[in-house]
Chain A
Amino acid sequence: MSTAATSPDEVTRTPPVSQDTPRLVKKHPLAIRWQHWINFPVLMIMMWSGLLILWAYPVYPSEKLPLKVPNRISLYQWGIAPVYPERQNAENYPAPPDKRYDIATGFRLAEGMNWHFTFAWFFTLNGIAYILFLLFSGEWRYLMPRRESFVEAFKVVLHDLKLYRKPLPIAKFNHAQRIAYSSVVVLGFGMVVTGLAIYKPAQLTWLVTLLGGYQTARLEHFWITMLLLAFFFVHIAQVARAGWNNFRAMITGYEVDRSGHLTEAIRKGGA
C-alpha cells in the first residue's frame, strides 16, 4: 500500500487527461469517515434511550394539544418496539395502587435517562469534531448549499424520480446532497440545543423561553428526531441506489472514477 506505484495519492494527483487509467479518487477524508460511522450507533442509542424516556409520559406537549406520540411502533402486525402499557396513558392516571416501582422497573425510565445523558456527550463531541474538521479542512465547501442549490436540488429530485432525463453534472455531492447534509448538521445542532433546554430548564431559562417553553422544547426535541429518522431512511435508500462504489468510498475513502469527472470535480474544490 505504501509503494509508489499503488499509492492512492499518486493516482489522485494524476491529471484526468490520461484517459485510459481509471482513477481512484480520494473522496472522503479519514476523520469524516470515522465521525460518520461513530455517529450511527451513537444516534441509535440516543433514539433507543430517548424512547425509554418518551414512554414514561408519552403525551406531547400536554393533554391540551391534539398532538400525541403513538404508543406503538409496528410494521404490519409485528411490533418492532414494545408497546407501552395502556394504563400509563394520561387518561387513566393515576395508576392503580402499588405501582410505585413501575417507572423504575417496568418502564425503564431511569435506564433510558442514564444512557441518554451518557451518550449525549459522544453525540455532541462527535458533532463538534465534525464541524471543526469541516471548517479547518475546507471540506465545508463541498457541503454548503449555494445560491443555485435549491433549483438544482429540485432537478436532482426530478432526475431521481425519472422525470428529468438529462444527465446531471458530476460532483462530489450534488445539490440535493448539499442541502440534505447541511440540514442534518442543523438538525444535530437543534437536537443539542433543545436537549440542553430540557436537561437544564431551570438554569437555561432564556433558552427555554426562546424555544417556546419547557413542553414545547420537548416536542421540538421529539420532532427533530423524527426529521433525523426521515433523513436516515432517504439516505439509506439513496446509498442503496447509488451502488457499491459509492458506499465503499465511505469506508475506504476512495472511489473508482471511470470518467475522470469526479476527480476533476473534487480537484476544483467545492466551488
Chain B
Amino acid sequence: MNEHQEMAQDAGEASPEAVREAEARIRRLSRRSFLWAGLATGAGVGGLVAFNKYAPESNGAKIPLRKVLGFNETVAQRLFYRPTHRAREFPRSAAEEPRNNYKGTTPVVDLAAWRLRLSGLGDGAEDRKLTLADLRDLPRAEQTTELKCIEGWSTVVNWSGVRFVDFAKKYAPPSGTEYVSMLSEPADYPDERYYVGLHLADCLHPQTLLATHMNGTPLRVEHGAPLRLVIPHKYGIKNIKLITSIAYARERPTDYWYEQGYDWYAGL
C-alpha cells in the first residue's frame, strides 16, 4: 500500500469531478492573485530599471539614495550619537602600524615652512596662520583607537596631539558656526589636494584629535605629518592628513569623497 492509498483510505478521496471542480475554482481564485503578482513584479523590475536609468545623480550618487543617506544621518545623530559617548579605546600595546593610504604620491612637505591657516573666525576677523609651536601651548591628549577605513579594513593606532575641543577654546568659532572644513593642499602636489567637511559638534567630541604623533613618534609624511585629524567616530576618509587649512563655516562644506558618490556624514 503506498502513501497515496493510505491517505485516501483515511479521509476518503474526492471524486475526479470534484477534483476538476476544485481546480476550476482555484483557477478563478488564482487569476486575481497572479495578476497582482505580475503587476508587482513588473512594477518592481520596471521601477528598478527606470531608477537605474533615469534617477538624477548628485555628486556621483542617485539623489533618492542621497535623500535616504540624509535621513540616515538624522537618525544617526538623534538615535546613536551622544557627544559624551566615547568610541572604544584599546590598551597602548594593541597599537599597530597603519598602512600608508595615500593613493597617489606621498607628499613631502617642508615642515619648517608649514603653516595652518585658520579662517571663518567671524566678521572682520583676519585669518590666522598657525605654526606647530602655537599648538604646543595647548593641553596634550593621547588615545589608542581603531581607525576604520570605509573599504572595510581597520587598525588600532595610538595617537597623541591636541583635542579639537581645546583648539576651539583658544581659537573659538564664531556663533552660528555649524560646520568645519579642513583642507590639505600641499604645495607642489596638486593631485593630493584633499578636503573634508564635518559638523562642528563632531569636531568638539572629546576623542577628536589634531594629532601630531602616532605610536609614540612624530607623524611621518606618509601618515600625515605634521598635523592630521583623528576622529574615531568617522570613517578614515574623514581623518584628513597634512592639514593646511581649517575653516569654520555656517554652510555645509563640500567633501572630497562626497563628490565621488560617498555619504557626506560617514559617521560610525
Contacts and interface: CB of A to CB of B under 8 A. Distances in A.
Interface in B98-141: 99-105
Interface stretch (B14-22, B167-175, B212-220, B239-247): B14-22
B95 to A, nearest CB: 15
B14 A21 contact: yes
A127 B101 CA distance: 39
Contacts of A205: 85-88
B268 A97 contact: no
Given A167-B7, A214-B146, A203 B22 contact: no
A100 B191 contact: yes
Contacts of B154: 214-215
B163 interface: no
A98 B6 contact: no
A95 interface: yes
Interface in A143-196: 167, 170
A16 B12 CA distance: 10
Nearest to B89: A205
A23 B65 CA distance: 47
B204 interface: no
A20 B15 contact: yes
A224 interface: no
B56 interface: no
Nearest to B44: A41
Given A98-B191, A110-B261, A251-B37, A24 B11 contact: no
B88 A208 contact: yes
A203 to B, nearest CB: 4
A225 to B, nearest CB: 14
User: What is the interface residue range for chain B against chain A?
Assistant: 35 or more
Interface stretch (A134-142, A234-242, A256-264): A256-264
B144 to A, nearest CB: 14
Given A57-B149, A251-B37, A167 B103 contact: no
Contacts of A43: none
A56 B152 contact: yes
A23 B22 contact: yes
A37 B37 contact: yes
Contacts of A24: 22, 25-26, 29
Contact of A103 (B32, B65, B151): B151
Given A204-B80, A252-B29, A258 B13 contact: yes
Interface string A92-114: 01110111111111000111011
Contacts of A215: 154
Nearest to B61: A114
A167 B11 contact: no
B23 A256 contact: yes
Contact of B65 (A118, A201, A256): A118
Interface string A53-76: 110110100100000000000000
B11 A259 contact: yes
Interface string A210-231: 0000110010000000000000
B82 interface: yes
8 contacts: A19-B13, A56-B151, A62-B153, A94-B100, A114-B66, A203-B81, A209-B88, A254-B26
Given A23-B22, A59-B153, A201-B268, 13 more contacts: A1-B28, A21-B22, A24-B26, A53-B152, A97-B103, A97-B104, A104-B262, A114-B65, A115-B65, A118-B68, A202-B267, A214-B146, A251-B37
Interface of B: 3, 6-8, 10-15, 18-19, 21-23, 25-26, 28-30, 32-34, 37, 40, 44, 60-62, 64-66, 68-69, 72, 76, 80-82, 85-88, 99-105, 146, 148-154, 191, 232-233, 257, 260-263, 267-268
